[in-house]
């Protein structure tokens, strides 16, 4: 079962694979490419997972694991 907490791990994994920084669309593509089957089997989570990716990114910012973006949409997500 996929959870929001797992999404945090997948965001970090994606950003590591992308060289430490990436745009939300690239992080989402990485997660879909690698975890499509888990997402499809996750019931209703399938319909909210892209929202949950953004939730995970904000939680990682709150935990000082991602650099802050200060509500800007023109900056990639970046590991600290």
Confidence of residue 72 (pLDDT cuts 50, 70, 90): confident
Q: Across residues 61-66, what is the average pLDDT?
A: 98
Confidence of residue 1 (pLDDT cuts 50, 70, 90): confident
Name the percent of the chain lying above pLDDT 70. Answer: 100
Count of residues in the chain: 80
Distances (CA, A) of 45 to 8, 42, 51, 68: 14, 6, 10, 26
- Please give the residue that has the higher pLDDT: either 56 or 71: 56
pTM score, whole prediction: 0.94
């Amino acid at each position: 079962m996929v959870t929001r907490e797992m999404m945090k791990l997948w965001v970090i994994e994606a950003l590591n694979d992308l060289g430490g920084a990436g745009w939300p669309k690239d992080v989402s593509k990485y997660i879909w490419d690698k975890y499509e089957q888990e997402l499809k089997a996750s019931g209703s989570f399938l319909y909210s997972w892209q929202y949950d990716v953004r939730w995970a990114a904000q939680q990682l910012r709150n935990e000082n694991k991602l650099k802050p973006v200060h509500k800007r949409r023109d900056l990639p997500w970046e590991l600290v």
